[in-house]
């Protein structure tokens, strides 16, 4: 916690001071953007209110110096990897410099205003070159819910409570909010059939996740300790890891999902820094009756503040609702604080065998579900594998996703004594299968 978390701090940009904005002066998340409909080069930007600070324009002026200028130039590139390499101390210097330039009463306000671009006039791209993508499976509530769809008295596999389970995904089909993708084809085994068939996915689903961006990497063979792991994390975004459930059931044994997951993953453009999330940290807890983490997955820092209270929601806007002028339907809401394994534990486990993480690598948190009714992070849970379709209004129901459906993920943090900050949204649309 430091002066950038001061609840009384205000910006000279009035849109940053509205109570409902995702991007007050206490946030300052990063993205890569350009003006819509142009052939401008994509470059790094920082959100403030309803504007984007153009870091390329800012770094050409005289408002920054020293490490802050070095950082701004690195972040002004078409991808943020070179900025990530600089590490937490330099990330912090730039964020603090921007905070000072944006604060109410700043003498350089006029010069910085010339570096602002309205968010409604920009488009975004994936903010970094993603070398590797790893998807975790770390929500006990989600795992139990899915297990009990098949076995009502079942429990998760024994390893779930001992390690953060994960598999390596496909980075080439990760897209930024606004992504549209065709319903996937694949091989599946119909109920009662003796042989599989090749056809379009019928049980298409979303997964409410967070994306964890690796900042500085580690050398091969040098594991990262749990209590040092967050020094290697730049920040967090929203992530929808779409799933073809009928393809997944047939192909996942013994190695896990393949075609069921590699056709699309949709992220929000804005990366909220761990520094901005500091006011929303909370204790990471494990029930005393559960196995406690092995030593390499434990530590006093993680125990004290390893969890983050990020509020999350899933909304669905059907093609028909959009055509008829109806609003999206809220499907569920939960918090990331319920996750069984923390961000630090995911990073530590990923590296303990010798793996080298690199700047720009992306980790998916796994589907985030909470313990209460209406806290499921996937439609398969909410609709009980299609047996209890969810009401959308206007006579529409969903057991699984239909063509034309747009799924929106939204996230924010708020608590008494802190300023609300948000993540923007992750929006993705299902198109019909290719002919």
Tell me whether strands 421-431 and 179-182 are parallel, antiparallel or unpaired: parallel
Q: Considering only CA atoms, which of 182, 259, 242, 181 is closest in space to residue 206?
A: 242
Instruction: Please state, in angstroms and rounded to a whole number, the distance separating the CA atoms of residues 43 and 34.
Output: 7
* Ramachandran bin of 207, using left for φ above 0, alpha for ψ from -120 to 50, beta for the remaining angles: beta
Distances (CA, A) of 388 to 27, 93, 154, 394, 400: 39, 51, 20, 17, 10
- CB 401, CB 433: distance < 8 Å: no
Tell me whether strands 122-125 and 43-48 are parallel, antiparallel or unpaired: unpaired
Tell me whether strands 362-364 and 208-214 are parallel, antiparallel or unpaired: antiparallel
In sequence order, the 6+-apart residues with CB closer than 8 A to the CB of 121 are: 35, 36
Instruction: Please state, in angstroms and rounded to a whole number, the distance separating the CA atoms of residues 186 and 199.
Output: 6
Q: Considering only CA atoms, which of 327, 333, 324, 334 is closest in space to residue 392?
A: 327
Instruction: Please state, in angstroms and rounded to a whole number, the distance separating the CA atoms of residues 216 and 115.
Output: 28
Q: Which two tokens stand for residue 71?
A: 């950082």
Catalytic residues: 142
For the four alpha carbons of 258, 173, 359 and 345, in that order, the dihedral sign comes to negative
In sequence order, the 6+-apart residues with CB closer than 8 A to the CB of 143 are: 137, 156, 160
Instruction: Please state, in angstroms and rounded to a whole number, the distance separating the CA atoms of residues 253 and 255.
Output: 5
Instruction: Please state, in angstroms and rounded to a whole number, the distance separating the CA atoms of residues 168 and 378.
Output: 20
* Strand, coil or helix: 68: helix
Q: Considering only CA atoms, which of 298, 363, 299 is closest in space to residue 138?
A: 363
Tell me whether strands 272-273 and 116-118 are parallel, antiparallel or unpaired: unpaired
């Amino acid at each position: 916690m430091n002066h950038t978390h001061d609840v009384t701090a205000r910006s000279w940009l009035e849109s940053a001071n509205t109570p409902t904005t995702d991007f007050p002066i206490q946030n300052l998340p990063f993205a890569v953007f350009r003006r819509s409909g142009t052939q401008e080069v994509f470059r790094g930007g920082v959100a403030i209110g309803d504007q984007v600070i153009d870091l390329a324009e800012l770094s050409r002026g005289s408002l920054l110096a020293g490490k802050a200028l070095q950082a701004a130039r690195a972040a002004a590139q078409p991808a943020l990897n070179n900025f990530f390499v600089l590490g937490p101390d330099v990330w912090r210097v730039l964020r603090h410099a921007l905070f000072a330039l944006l604060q109410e009463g700043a003498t350089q306000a006029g010069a910085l205003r010339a570096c602002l671009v309205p968010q409604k006039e920009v488009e975004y791209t994936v903010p970094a070159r993603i070398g590797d993508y790893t998807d975790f499976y770390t929500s006990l509530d989600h795992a139990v819910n899915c297990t009990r769809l098949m076995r009502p008295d079942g429990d998760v596999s024994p390893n779930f409570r001992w390690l953060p389970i994960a598999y390596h995904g496909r980075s080439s089909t990760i897209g930024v909010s606004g992504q549209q993708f065709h319903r996937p084809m694949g091989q599946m085994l119909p109920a009662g059939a003796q042989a599989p068939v090749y056809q379009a996915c019928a049980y298409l689903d979303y997964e409410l996740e967070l994306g964890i961006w690796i900042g500085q990497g580690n050398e091969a063979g040098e594991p990262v300790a749990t209590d040092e792991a967050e020094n290697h994390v730049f920040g967090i975004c929203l992530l929808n890891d779409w799933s073809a459930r009928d393809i997944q059931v047939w192909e996942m044994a013994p190695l896990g999902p393949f075609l069921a997951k590699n056709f699309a993953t949709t992220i929000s453009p804005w990366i909220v820094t761990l520094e901005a999330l500091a006011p929303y940290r909370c204790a990471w807890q494990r029930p005393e009756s559960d196995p406690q983490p092995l030593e390499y997955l434990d530590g006093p820092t993680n125990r004290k503040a390893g969890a983050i209270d990020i509020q999350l929601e899933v909304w669905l806007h059907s093609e028909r609702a959009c055509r008829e002028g109806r609003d999206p339907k809220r499907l569920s809401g939960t918090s990331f604080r319920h996750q069984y394994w923390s961000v630090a534990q995911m990073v530590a486990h990923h590296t303990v065998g010798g793996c080298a993480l690199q700047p720009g690598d992306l980790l998916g948190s796994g589907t985030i579900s909470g313990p209460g009714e209406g806290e499921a992070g996937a439609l398969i849970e909410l609709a009980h594998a299609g047996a209890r379709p969810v009401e959308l209004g206007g006579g529409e129901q969903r057991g699984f996703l239909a063509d034309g459906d747009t799924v929106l993920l939204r996230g924010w943090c708020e608590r008494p004594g802190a300023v609300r900050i948000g993540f923007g949204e992750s929006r993705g649309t299902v198109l019909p299968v290719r002919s």
